[in-house]
A and B are shown apart, each in its own frame.
Chain A
Amino acid sequence: QQQVKQSPQSLIVQKGGISIINCAYENTAFDYFPWYQQFPGKGPALLIAIRPDVSEKKEGRFTISFNKSAKQFSLHIMDSQPGDSATYFCAARGNTPLVFGKGTRLSVIA
């Protein structure tokens, strides 16, 4: 049973456009929602994270939107750049280890 559902599987965005990746969860005990970025041949690295007491968190071009009632959260990448091309994972945890979504492969084309 997948605890965090992520979509889309892959995404192609023009340079300068907005990339949006969505995740949904079921476990209401989850209290921490990070996004990880993974480049080919590297390990995942924390990009940005949010807790359910806020609805939005912004760091540079990256924004997490969080909807507690809908049990959904999303990553928005503004002004997407070719260097943003990577696989993005949403994740969640409560009193358990992080569980990951299945990942979204983002390609930003010039």
Chain B
Amino acid sequence: DTAVSQTPKYLVTQMGNDKSIKCEQNLGHDTMYWYKQDSKKFLKIMFSYNNKELIINETVPNRFSPKSPDKAHLNLHINSLELGDSAVYFCASSLRGLSGNTIYFGEGSWLTVV
């Protein structure tokens, strides 16, 4: 069973559209994250939720809105998509809040904006 699963894996969409990426973890973790990996492979945290509460919100355009309906799910909604949003978005989770040891990543959602 996949520990951190995210859908869709691939997404091609036009500029200006709104899209969502869903994430679920079955590890019983209390903290979930969204990371963005750009074309140069740089991994940067976007958001973090602990027990459904937003605890980290890096400098991300407010077109990006995370939503955590429960501890096991963290979805990412993106409004008015721009070319520069093209990247791989990774959902991740860990135990014990920000000081959790191992972060487990999903396989990524490859977003291409045309």
Give me the interface of A with B, judged by CB distance under 8 Å: 32, 34, 38, 41-46, 49, 87, 89, 93, 95-100, 102-103, 105
Given A41-B107, A42-B108, A44-B90 in contact, is the A102-B41 Cβ separation under 8 Å?
A: yes
**Residues on B with beta carbons closer than 8 Å to the beta carbon of A87:** 41
Asked whether A32 lies within 8 Å of B101 as measured between CB atoms, the reply is yes
Chain A nearest CB, measured from B70 CB (Å): 21
B99 at interface, CB cutoff 8 A = yes
**Which residues from B are CB-within-8-Å of A41?**
107-108
- Whether B106 and A43, one on each chain, are in contact in the complex, defined by CB atoms closer than 8 angstroms, is yes
A93-B105 in contact given A44-B90, A102-B40 (Cβ < 8 Å): no
B11 is an interface residue with CB less than 8 A from chain A: no
Q: Given A87-B41, A103-B41, A103-B42, are A95 and B98 neighbors across the interface (CB < 8 Å)?
A: yes
The answer to whether A46 and B103 have CB atoms under 8 Å apart is yes
- The smallest C-beta distance from A90 to any residue of chain B, in angstroms, reads 11
Chain A contact residues, majority secondary structure: strand
Q: Is the CB of A100 within 8 A of B98?
A: no
Q: Is B83 an interface residue (CB 8 A)?
A: no
The range of chain B's interface size is 20 to 34
B62 CB-CB contact with A under 8 Å: no
Checking A44, A95, A102, A105 against B105 with a beta-carbon cut-off of 8 angstroms, the contacting residue is: A44
Residue ID in chain A nearest B107 by CB atoms:
A43
Q: With CB as the reference atom, state the residue of chain A lying closest to B55.
A: A97
B75-111 near A? 1/0 per residue, CB < 8 Å:
0000000000000001010000011011111111000
Question: Which residue of A is nearest B43, CB measured?
Answer: A100
Q: With both chains docked as a complex, state the minimum distance between the C-beta of A19 and any C-beta of chain B, in angstroms.
A: 17
Do A97 and B41 contact each other (CB < 8 Å), given the known contacts A43-B106, A43-B108, A46-B102? no
B64 nearest CB across to chain A (Å): 16
| List of A residues within 8 angstroms of B108 by Cβ | 41-43
In the complex, B113 has a CB within 8 A of chain A = no
